[in-house]
Amino acid sequence: MTGLVVFIVIVAVISIVIVALTAWLSYSSAWAIVAAFCCLLVFGTMTWWNWSTTYKDDHWATCTITGKDRGGDDGSYRIYTSDCGQLANEDSTLRTKFNSADVWQEIPDKGVVKLRIAGVRWGFFSQFPNVFDVSEVETQN
């Protein structure tokens, strides 16, 4: 989630700078319209980004767990699978998910599980689909 927070902060700062420079450089209403359009574009992009990483592709999948650890620079939970890719298990304020530690305990180190996953993989921001629920655990030795 750290990549998303950094992205939002950068976009917010750029928006504030655009509005401040517009107000400082010109009293023209045309520049105010351009600044307002840029702010709307930036916040629209932020909204789309937030939706795509939080709600997009919400589904149940049967995944073969090959390992799990506290990966990533931010210490988030990572789940490695052979058929569902690399997944994250993070709290999500927008989805009111605050039980990452509980979900983490339900996921075996190896085995076949049914996971409810949402989100998409964004390599540039180190974002992974998030695991929201676990069911039908079949552990392997």
Task: Note the pTM of the prediction, 2 decimals.
Answer: 0.62
User: pLDDT tens digit string along 108-136?
Assistant: 889 899 999 988 887 777 788 889 999 87
Report d(CA 95, CA 79) in Å as an integer: 20
Q: In sequence order, which residues have a C-beta less than 8 Å from that of residue 54 and are 6 or more positions away?
A: 92, 94, 95, 118, 119, 130
The 8-class DSSP code of residue 121 comes to -
Report d(CA 66, CA 140) in Å as an integer: 10
Report d(CA 103, CA 61) in Å as an integer: 15
User: pLDDT tens digit string along 89-115?
Assistant: 888 777 788 888 889 989 988 989 999
